[in-house]
Structure 1
């Protein structure tokens, strides 16, 4: 319960600070860098070396890839059939095809499943969603903005992104069954604990609600796909077809039901793919997702 209070407190604090004229609202960029360069790597270095690998872990890792590929297929063919612009298609793929599996996912999963659940959340996020946005995400952004994807740029983004570097290090530590000193682990936990307040404060500072926008029908479709259709497909595939019923599957389902990924929206905006719509997908997707997540958590109780 305390974790849920923190979630709403820091989201509300961010919204309030937006309206304080003296407060520099672009401070969220600094908060994002702290989370990306320090908090997320700390969580990765703490949890990944302790994971005992099994075939079951392929399910959380594969969820992010499945989600994005579904978005590519769904919005590309629907958009071409209905005559949408490439920029609109690209925007919906990048925002509806990527889950906020770290900034929102980590604190919510920790609140629902405890710190142990973070191990699965890290798997959904790091080798899953993060690698997807750094590779396929960049490719989609370049393709639908009528640019030509730069292979070297894609590789560079992956190799020099701090969470990915620490993920590789943590994987090697796991392979060689090496873990850090207990004092260092304690420090990593403390650093990682800041991901909740900092990330949610950043999200609150970025939430925007443009009631005059002409994108309402696309917003509804994008959020329906992300918050309802995707977790439903994962539920059917993992639980009913592949007969998986563990807590790992429950956490994976909840992660795929998270609101759109902020990084995906930023990528869409950077490439000129309907920046206002991408902002709306984040601004409305986050608060609405708290309602739909409650529904999916209820469904998880029957898995």
Structure 2
């Protein structure tokens, strides 16, 4: 696990260094949208098609959904109680809510799970993302961001907008092909494997581009501490308990819990900007929880390896 995280950290550091030195006069703000757009529209759908077409789909997919949704709502309850207790201002609380609830299950979770458990674990990360995290983010997450922030655009996108997305439609196609026992042609498998190979390094490099230590300020520390506690301790602990109620195999349980233990997702900064939440606070939460994950992920992995599921 430590060796895996060192490799991940080096790729993330490459993005962080690019952010500082700006090769070719390309800033992180210019580079990251291009890379993430290519991943979102091409490389990630290719991986989703490859993985879900050949994975075991059925009862365990429902269990990933139950685990993911339950963990997210426990995180939501915890941050709501913290907000009631400390009476945070709306813009800070909205950013804290997004940072505390939604883990980086794809951009960091997918490569970590693949390197730690093997290629089969990609299916775990993808299913938790598509069947749990994304639906909750684009429904309850958007509603919370609107409630605690401001929307001056005059446009109100549907909370089901995640349905109109390449990864989602690719997942539907892959599941239909899988359930109908349609074999994947060899030539197509080769193409998808080559496209899929680009997902992990580009994701990790893009994550490094998104991290900003300038956002780490003493002023934001009181707001980030509850996020750290909920995101890196309480949610994984709940997932560890809840997964014991499921009938998944031991390896699948460990991979699912470790995915829930990922740091705050990068995508939340988009919602903070759109709904005028505290973007600087959210950026600090992402940066700090990602740095702490280098310690906390091996901690949770060690506990999972000692468990007799």
TM-score (norm. length: structure 1): 0.91
Q: CA deviation at 1:6?
A: 3.9
Instruction: Give the Cα separation in 1 of the matches to 2:233 and 2:178.
Output: 35
Q: CA deviation at 1:85?
A: 1.9
SS state at 2:287 partner? helix
**Are residue 23 (structure 1) and residue 32 (structure 2) matched?**
no
Q: CA deviation at 1:19?
A: 1.6
Q: Is the contact between residue 236 and residue 257 of structure 2 (CA under 8 Å) also seen in structure 1?
A: yes
**Are residue 225 (structure 1) and residue 226 (structure 2) matched?**
no
Q: CA deviation at 1:68?
A: 2.2
Could you tell me which residue of structure 2 aligns to residue 185 of structure 1?
189
**Are residue 205 (structure 1) and residue 209 (structure 2) matched?**
yes
How do 1:1-303 and structure 2 match up within 5 A? 4-21=5-22, 22-26=25-29, 27-145=31-149, 153-155=158-160, 157-209=161-213, 210-239=215-244, 241=245, 246-303=250-307
Instruction: Give the Cα separation in 2 of the matches to 1:64 and 1:266.
Output: 22
Deviation digits for residues 56-89 of structure 1, max 9, x if unmatched?
A: 3333222331232123222223312322222222
Instruction: Give the Cα separation in 2 of the matches to 1:179 and 1:92.
Output: 45
Q: RMSD between aligned alpha carbons?
A: 2.2
| Structure 1 unmatched ranges of 5 or more | none
Q: Is the contact between residue 59 and residue 252 of structure 1 (CA under 8 Å) also seen in structure 2?
A: no
| Structure 2 unmatched ranges of 5 or more | none
Instruction: Give the Cα separation in 2 of the matches to 1:179 and 1:121.
Output: 23
Instruction: Give the Cα separation in 2 of the matches to 1:176 and 1:244.
Output: 23
Q: Is the contact between residue 60 and residue 124 of structure 1 (CA under 8 Å) also seen in structure 2?
A: yes
Q: CA deviation at 1:4?
A: 4.4
Deviation digits for residues 124-150 of structure 1, max 9, x if unmatched?
A: 111121222222222221122255998
Runs of 4+ in structure 1 over 6 Å off: 148-151
Instruction: Give the Cα separation in 1 of the matches to 2:175 and 2:157.
Output: 24
Deviation digits for residues 197-249 of structure 1, max 9, x if unmatched?
A: 1111111111112343411021121011101110001112222x557662111
Deviates more, 1:256-265 or 1:242-251: 242-251
Structure 1 277/144 Cα, relative in aligned 2: closer, same or farther at 3 Å?
same
TM-score (norm. length: structure 2): 0.90
Q: Is the contact between residue 65 and residue 128 of structure 1 (CA under 8 Å) also seen in structure 2?
A: yes
Instruction: Give the Cα separation in 2 of the matches to 1:263 and 1:179.
Output: 34
SS state at 2:267 partner? helix
Instruction: Give the Cα separation in 1 of the matches to 2:174 and 2:265.
Output: 24
Q: Is the contact between residue 6 and residue 197 of structure 1 (CA under 8 Å) also seen in structure 2?
A: no
